[in-house]
Structure 1
Amino acid sequence: MATPVVPVISQAPSATDPAVYAEYESKWATYPTDAQGWLERAREVAAVLSVDAAAREKANKSPKAEVALLKHSGLLKVLGPKKYGGGEQPWSVGYEVIREVAKGDGSIGMLLGYHLLWSRTAHVVGNDEQAERFQKLIIENNYYVGGAVNPRDNDLKITYDDSNITYNGFKNFTTGAAVSDLIVLEGAIHDRPEEHIFAIVPTAQAGIQFHYNWDNVGLRLTESGSAKIEGISAPWTDALGWDVATKKPDPAVLGIPFPALLLPTIQLVFSNFYLGIALGALDFAKKYTTTSTRAWPYGGDNKEKATDEFYILSTYGNFFAHLRAAEALANQAGAEADRIYGTYQNNRAAFPIEERGEWAELVASVKVVTTDVGLRVTAGVFEVTGSRATASKVGLDRFWRDIRTHTLHDPVAYKNRELGRYVLLGEHPEPTWYT
């Protein structure tokens, strides 16, 4: 198939200025030491971002400053080992940190979530040496990691010789990659298309050509546009989970169920920034209602304040109840991530596919619930804020646009069907790029 024709911008668009957040490099020079400290740091980041989130989103500039803010905060390192300068927190804390940042700015919560997944990819699909080496590289240098792994596109094609693998091709979506230090590439070997290889390479290479064409309705600061990959090589030692001598997948790494954890792990990333965006919308709307919304004077049961209106109180209460339930479910799935990784990370061969299936169905449940409640809350808040809240300067619409954009990533209807087969037939989903 011919390479898709896409609009190409010859140079990078204007970017947000990292200098605007320079003060936080020294303010946050000391990193938190426990889970609550990391969550508080995430809340501080969200507070900084929320001040001008609507204006930055409208400007649609490349988020270099926002990535710098994440670096200053230490949040890029929250999952990394302490011996390299990381927070050494479990995935459950990482998921909550994503959620907290997304409350202030959905785009930056998404960028953080993708980074945390890609920065830990070698721990899931790589061997022990690769996992250790890349973690040292990423955490010690405070690198931001993006990816070019959209499975809906034709795979990047991999050619190889005795020393290197080389990627060529095109990807429609490369979230965060254009503002990254490292990029995760995934492709199929040209003469063995059923065999795929992940590798992590430096982003600043002439053969990685970003098109800077992300101009969608939501998540506008995620640099999720397309890229062309031409002649990008990595040594066989960087082919995650592959045997250097045989040039084949290492059966001790990729021949077991453990690497199939990568997909539930990222699906739970998605659900947590959906949840954070929805919680952010409710909080934003609450502040607007309590300061700006006027009571309706023609209802026959007139109130002096909007906060005394029955339907407003009822709606907020209902939204709050559903979001609280969604948080509980997301936390349950996060706790199970901790159990699985804590039990099997150092004993991967013992990981049973049945446990992967059970966790995948729990994650699918979170995806369904956060999609449904997220869309309902981010659209419904307008009913309790009033017509003036639709003004562009208010920026309340960004929450719905952000959730609407990413919930189309993979149709939630298939998650409902997957859960239906689990309930009715006791079937676990077959591991795929989306389940």
Structure 2
Amino acid sequence: MSAVAPTTWQSRPAPTDADAWIARATEVAAILATDAAARDRAGATPYAEVQLLKDSGLVTLLGPAAHGGGGQRWTTAYQVVREVAKADGSIAQLLGYHYLWNWAARLVGTREQWEHVEAEAARNRWFFGGAVNPRDADVVVRDEGDTLAFSGRKSFSTGSKVSDVTVLEGVLEGTDDHVFAIVPSDSEGLAFHDDWDNIGQRLTESGGVTLDNVRVGWGSAAGYVDKTFRPRVYNTLNVPTIQLVFVNFYLGIAAGALETAAGYTRNTTRPWLHGGHDRAVDEPYIIDIYGDLTTRLWAAQAFADRVAEEGQRLHDDPDAVTERDRGEFEVRVAAAKAHATDVALEVTSRIFEATGARSTATAEGLDRFWRNVRTHTLHDPVAYKRREVGRHVLIGELPTPTWYS
């Protein structure tokens, strides 16, 4: 991968506002775009790409400014994820999941815990992964007195080998109590498997992980005081927060597909021989395709931004979040997720109608946009997102917090 030396950014002032951070993300995307198709085909572990995110400072975006972080809000994080996704959906997913897991201490932990984690993460530019796939059997957490031991297996662990720290989650043995903890990714007993071999999002290192008595102190059990969890409604905001990450890298991938396709149409696509036009850009059906897809994408982006602002108000005052606040936000996120899924799949599929048969050549790599969206949008059935919206409209029901709602 073409890389920018750290001094390129270190010799310039760090971004200080949202616009400057989004501009930084645009720079990162430009670097990733130079060989995105080739890297997708190679499917190599993205060590260099994650280093790029560190060198640019994007990994510290949500961290406290006092400790070298960007001090930014979730609304900016979503925009940054979307910008990076225009060039590389895999790296955008890694970054978006990193933001969620970096924030997990604040979502679940005590003030002392999250202040410590966020300070260390910003100072050391930690990159976060997570072993929290809820479709698998729960990891068992055994109380050993002063320590906890996590044992089990998860089918997916996004970030795995490229992460500095990993968020673990399991159920305390003999109880229904869930426990989150952050551990170094090279911890004894934590083994990542090289078994991520899917058609899309190939560089996300989302393979399985085995936990064999991975030990942490009770002090690292997020939100626990004297071995008792102290719940807040804000704890349950992890699902709508990560689902908005999904929304934004779907829309970023779609935007990148449109931009790439438009460049191909301008420079390479030939007009139809019976259409009477000398240039593809003058073909009425091609003009209509780009007009239609762009209109749909802009509408989806505007809605996603509106929902992100609504969520930011909850992040700004965590202790004030009520069950109704959380439920209404989840419904709005569900609507944004459903709409973004439909738009991104349509955009990444229909661009070929405007680029023509020769654009399907492997070297062009236009298929990666659809493969990436198609792969990740199967994360959870979009029909259940529409169901949340429909039941709220018809009977005022608010979604019960689960791992997917």
* TM-score bracket for the superposition, by shorter chain length: over 0.9
What amino acid does structure 1 have at the position aligned with 2:357?
S
Q: Match of 1:8? A: none
Q: 1:290 corresponds to which residue?
A: 266
Residue 166 of structure 2 aligns to a residue whose secondary structure is strand
What's the counterpart of residue 339 of structure 1?
313
Partner of 2:284: 310
Corresponding position of 1:46: 29
Asked if 1:169 is matched to 2:152, the reply is yes
Q: Which residue of 1 aligns with 2:15?
A: 32
Letter in 1 for 2:270: R
1:248 to 213, 228, 233: 228
Q: Deviations over 1:22-66 (max 9, x none)?
A: x43111114211111000000000000001000001001001000
Partner of residue 66 from structure 2, selected from 70, 80, 83? 83
Distance (Å, rounded) in 2 between the aligned partners of 1:35 and 1:90: 8
Q: Deviations over 1:326-362 (max 9, x none)?
A: 11011001111221111x23xx1x3211111111111
* Structure 2 equivalent of residue 12 of structure 1: none
Q: Show the counterpart of 2:371.
A: 401
Query: Could you say what secondary structure the match of 2:168 adopts?
Result: strand
Aligned-partner Cα distance in 1 for 2:9–2:188:
34
Distance 1:302 1:198 in 2: 64
Q: CA deviation at 1:208?
A: 1.0
Q: What is aligned with 1:229?
A: 211
| Structure 2 residue aligned with 1:141 | 124
Distance 1:369 1:273 in 2: 13
Tell whether the 8 Å contact from 1:123 to 1:131 is kept in structure 2 after alignment: yes
Q: Are 1:168 and 1:229, in contact at CA under 8 Å, matched by a contact in 2?
A: yes
5+ residue gaps, structure 2, are none
Summarize the alignment of residues 248-397 of structure 1 with structure 2, pairs less than 5 Å apart.
248-250=228-230, 254=231, 256-298=232-274, 301-342=275-316, 344-345=317-318, 348=319, 350-397=320-367
Residue 4 of structure 1 corresponds to: none
| Counterpart-to-counterpart distance in 1, 2:339 and 2:33 | 25
Equivalent residue number for residue 136 of structure 2: 153
Q: Mapping of 1:112-123 within 5 angstroms?
A: 112-123=95-106
1:109-157 Cα distance to aligned partner (Å, 9 max, x none): 0000000000010111111001101001111000100000000011111
Contact 1:219 1:405 in 2 (8 A): yes
Q: Distance in 2 between matches of 1:102 and 1:369?
A: 18
Q: Aligned letter for 2:370?
A: W
Preserved CA contact (<8 Å) 2:240 2:333: yes
> Quick one: which amino acid aligns to residue 319 of structure 1?
L
Runs of 5+ consecutive residues of structure 1 not aligned to the other structure: 1-15
Distance in structure 1 (CA, Å) of the matches to 2:61 and 2:234: 22
Q: Name the structure 1 match of 2:57.
A: 74
Structure 1 Cα separation of the partners of residues 133 and 213 of structure 2? 19
RMSD value over aligned CA atoms? 0.9
Equivalent position amino acid for 2:250 in 1: Y
Q: Report the AA paired with residue 111 of structure 1.
A: L
For residues 259 and 51 of structure 1, the distance between their equivalents in structure 2, rounded to whole angstroms, comes to: 40
The CA deviation at 1:417 is: 1.1
For residues 338 and 5 of structure 2, the distance between their equivalents in structure 1, rounded to whole angstroms, comes to 37
Question: C-alpha displacement at 1:302, in angstroms?
Answer: 1.6
User: 1:161 deviation in Å?
Assistant: 2.1
CA contact (8 A) 2:330 2:399 kept: yes
Q: Is the 8 A contact 2:332 2:389 kept in 1?
A: no
Give the TM-score of the pair, scaled to structure 2. 0.98
Q: Is the 8 A contact 2:127 2:163 kept in 1?
A: yes
Residues 24-33 or 272-281, more deviating: 24-33
Which segment is superposed worse, 219-228 or 203-212?
Answer: 203-212
Q: State the 4+ residue runs in structure 1 displaced beyond 4 angstroms.
A: none
Looking at structure 1, the residues matched to 395 and 260 of structure 2 have their Cα atoms a distance apart, in angstroms, of 42
| Cα distance in 1, alignment partners of residues 47 and 14 from structure 2 | 21
State which of 60, 66, 79 in structure 2 corresponds to 1:96.
79
Residues 307, 332 of structure 2: 8 Å contact kept: yes
- CA distance in structure 2 between the partners assigned to 1:319 and 1:184 by the alignment: 38
**What is the CA–CA distance in structure 2 between the aligned matches of 1:130 and 1:118, rounded to whole Å?**
14
SS at match of 1:120: helix
TM-score normalised over the length of structure 1? 0.91
1:190 to partner: Cα distance: 1.8
How far apart, CA to CA, are the structure 2 residues paired with 1:336 and 1:417? 21
2:184 counterpart of 1:202 = yes
CA distance in 2, matches of 1:24, 1:276: 26
2:152 and 2:161 map into 1 onto residues whose CA distance is 16
Contact 1:31 1:73 in 2 (8 A): no
Task: Give the conservation status (yes or no) of the 8 Å contact 1:115–1:145.
Answer: yes
